[in-house]
Amino acid sequence: MRAVVCRSYGPPEDLVVDDDVADPTPGPGQLVVRVHAAAVNFPDVLLIAGKYQIKIPVPFTPGSELAGEVLDVGEGVSFVPGQRVSGTTFVGAFAEQALIHATAVTEIPEGADYASAAAFGVTYRTAYHALRSVAGVAPGDWVVVLGAAGGVGLAAVDLAVAMKARVLAAASSPEKLELCRQRGAEATIDYDREDLKSRIRELTGDAAKVVLDPVGGSYAEPALRGLARGGTFVTLGYAAGAIPSIPLNLVLLKGITVRGMEIRTFAEDRPEDSERDMRELTQLFADGVVRPYIGARFPLAEAAAALRFVADRKAIGKVVIDVTG
């Protein structure tokens, strides 16, 4: 089969497309999916660079979320060949075929195409767990979303709107902010041109209850300073490239709660919350209440360009690789 291969840690340009990778064979509890579409996430960039929290030994095929048709199944798997499914896997999605555990696979609902199904998994699960279980967002709460036009950010905007929260979207360009308004954000901040702390306070009436931050860098501290007393700051990632240091006196003086959420371990750490969240989120997707915005699409041969696009923070919404159509 054809697959993207990382043979040594480095930038996206070092990836190769190999036409002669062995087809996977499912073991017990596993299935093989003929991949139609795969979505690109910022952790994919870190994994190929060897900078993620966990290092995958090279060579490996990157890619963590996909959608396609079941091709073959192992013992104990209830899915059958031909079923349309989407799923998540740590690596392996940027290929014509992917081996995946059946527990990480769901059937694609009618009315959803492969690209939307592939783009839905990681970012929407991350955003929903953060909003529902970590921050406990309620209708009417002001929720500030940093990096609001990125994958996790725009998913958070969509889901917070669906939860009837009031959304303040912060991003780095008028184009990105316009998209956030189209997706239901009540207020917006261009944080590369406006003072983030003062604008959060002004636009929310000093009532920002939650900040979701998948960006980090220089944006985290002013966003935390913009929180109302007793607010919750949720750190989700560091797409800006720098891990911020937060002065703890701010946490003390304002009674703020700072929490972290990592999608890789959430289900293990909080299984009951994870099960409930996934049930609710799947229903929102099946009902068409939320659908990912796909801002760019690339063929498999241009997977390196897709990863570079995400690495350079050019992505608006999700970036999808069309693998087999």
- Given a cut of 80, whether residue 291 has pLDDT beyond it is yes
Average pLDDT over residues 24-49: 96
CA distance 163 to 128: 10
Phi, psi dihedrals of residue 99, rounded to the nearest 5°: -95, 130
Percent of the chain with pLDDT over 90: 90
- Given a cut of 90, whether residue 96 has pLDDT beyond it is yes
The pLDDT of residue 264 is: 83
The pLDDT of residue 76 is: 95
- Given a cut of 80, whether residue 101 has pLDDT beyond it is yes
117-139 per-position pLDDT tens digit:
999 988 999 999 999 999 999 99
Using CA atoms, how far residue 310 sits from 90, 101, 240, 268, in Å, is 18, 27, 11, 28
The pLDDT of residue 325 is: 56
Residue-range domains of the chain with CATH: 3-112+291-322 (3.90.180.10), 123-266 (3.40.50.720)
Q: Contact 292/123 with Cβ under 8 angstroms? A: yes
The pLDDT of residue 54 is: 87
Residue 12, CA atoms < 13 Å, CB-side half-sphere:
20
For residue 112, name the pLDDT band (cuts at 50, 70, 90).
very high
For residue 116, name the pLDDT band (cuts at 50, 70, 90).
very high
- Given a cut of 70, whether residue 302 has pLDDT beyond it is yes
231-275 per-position pLDDT tens digit:
999 999 888 888 999 899 999 999 999 999 998 889 889 999 999
Average pLDDT over residues 133-154: 96
